[in-house]
């Protein structure tokens, strides 16, 4: 790294998560989550909460995020260093309503710790126990270098890209990412894949493997574990077709990111159009309304043809 502390060479780096989510490179950088926000929402939605925005509001650590970090720490790395990163809320407080509780919480956050509850720890411990007994986990699907950051420059635009796989395999081309979920039922997993754009995340890992590690990603597996008992586990492999779709979506989002950096403009979903747009009812709504109008017209004609007796 240069003397400025900013990364100027592609490589694998052991960055703290808060550094990774900032701007660790000599030029502006963007990760999978940022690119997915640009694609699924707009550049404006990405910029408002990004480290590039000097006026962004301080982020609030939602409970779900804290549990997610705890799950990744415990499930992938075990208990080593757990006390340095997490602290359990004292039993005397069941919430943060009192001033004393809020002061204690803020002190922990300033100290760089994530506050969890006993219930959080019990749930994640249950997930870890269930995960450990899955045959593919026993065979080492989650073995490798844990949560290292891969950074490189996009060949087309020159912008810096960031990827942080849960596990970088020691030698194989099989990457795996751990996901917690409400259910491992087929429809729930398919919904999560589409809603969260995990195929785009997989595609960026593949790009990182080629650019930084010099080897292709052969497969990308999602290791799912339910957050509530019985903590069922499933392992799914994404198809090459979906990963290629993700790669094309990433290309579009990276190009948009580069244009925004060049122009200093971060447009919303409507872009920078100078004219008004037409807005139509969705097809299902128009069909329903038309059908209702037809029924009412038929009923009116029927009443007109057969007037009620006086």
Residue 61 structural domain: 11-263
Report yes or no on 280 lying in a domain.
Answer: no
Residues forming a β-bridge with 30: 161
Q: Where are the alpha helices (DSSP H) in the chain?
A: 17-20, 32-40, 43-48, 63-77, 82-85, 99-110, 118-132, 135-138, 186-196, 198-208, 240-263, 283-305
With a CB cutoff of 8 Å and minimum separation 6, the contacts of 21 are 31, 51
Report yes or no on 288 lying in a domain.
Answer: no
3-state secondary structure at position 107: helix
Confidence (pLDDT) at 61: 60
Instruction: Compute the distance between CA of residue 68 and CA of residue 73 in angstroms, rounded to an integer.
Output: 9
Report yes or no on 65 lying in a domain.
Answer: yes
pLDDT of 297 > 70? The answer is: yes
Percentage of the chain modeled with pLDDT above 70: 95
Number of domains in the chain: 1
Confidence (pLDDT) at 307: 65
Report yes or no on 31 lying in a domain.
Answer: yes
- Give the pLDDT mean for 52-61: 78
Q: Kindly report, residue by residue over 63-110, the tens digit of the pLDDT.
A: 667 777 788 888 788 777 787 888 889 888 888 888 888 888 888 888
Report yes or no on 302 lying in a domain.
Answer: no
pLDDT of 310 > 60? The answer is: no
Report yes or no on 269 lying in a domain.
Answer: no
Confidence (pLDDT) at 67: 77
Host H or E run for residue 180:
strand 174-181
Q: At 73, which CATH number?
A: 3.90.320.10
The greatest distance separating any two alpha carbons of the chain, rounded to the nearest whole angstrom, comes to 98
Report yes or no on 99 lying in a domain.
Answer: yes
Q: Kindly report, residue by residue over 158-169, the tens digit of the pLDDT.
A: 999 999 999 999
Percentage of the chain modeled with pLDDT above 90: 62
Confidence (pLDDT) at 160: 98
Structural Rg of the chain based on CA atoms: 25
Confidence (pLDDT) at 4: 53
Report yes or no on 53 lying in a domain.
Answer: yes
């Amino acid at each position: 790294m240069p003397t400025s502390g900013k990364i100027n060479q592609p490589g694998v780096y052991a960055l703290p998560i808060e550094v990774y989510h900032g701007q660790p490179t000599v030029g502006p950088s963007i990760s999978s989550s940022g690119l997915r926000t640009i694609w699924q929402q707009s550049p404006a939605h990405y910029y408002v909460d990004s480290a590039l925005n000097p006026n962004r509001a301080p982020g609030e650590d939602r409970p779900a995020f804290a549990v997610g970090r705890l799950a990744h720490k415990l499930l992938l790395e075990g208990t080593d260093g757990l006390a340095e990163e997490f602290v359990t809320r004292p039993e005397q407080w069941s919430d943060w309503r009192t001033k004393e509780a809020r002061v204690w919480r803020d002190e922990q956050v300033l100290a760089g710790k994530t506050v969890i509850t006993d219930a959080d720890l019990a749930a994640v411990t249950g997930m870890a126990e269930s995960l450990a007994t899955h045959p593919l986990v026993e065979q080492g699907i989650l073995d490798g270098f844990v949560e290292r950051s891969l950074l490189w420059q996009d060949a087309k635009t020159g912008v810096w890209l960031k990827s942080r796989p849960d596990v970088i395999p020691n030698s194989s081309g099989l990457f795996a990412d751990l996901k917690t979920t409400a259910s491992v039922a087929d429809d729930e997993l398919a919904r999560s894949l589409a809603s969260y754009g995990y195929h785009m995340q997989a595609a960026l890992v593949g790009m990182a493997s080629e650019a930084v590690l010099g080897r292709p990603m052969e497969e990308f597996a999602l290791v799912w574990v339910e957050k509530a008992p019985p903590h069922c586990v499933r392992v799914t492999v994404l198809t090459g077709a979906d990963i290629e779709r993700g790669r094309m979506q990433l290309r579009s989002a990276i190009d948009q990111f580069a244009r925004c950096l060049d122009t200093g403009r971060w447009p919303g979903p409507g872009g920078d159009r100078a004219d008004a747009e037409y807005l139509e009812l969705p097809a299902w709504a128009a069909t329903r309304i038309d059908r209702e109008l037809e029924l009412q017209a038929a009923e009116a004609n029927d009443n007109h043809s057969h007037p009620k007796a006086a």
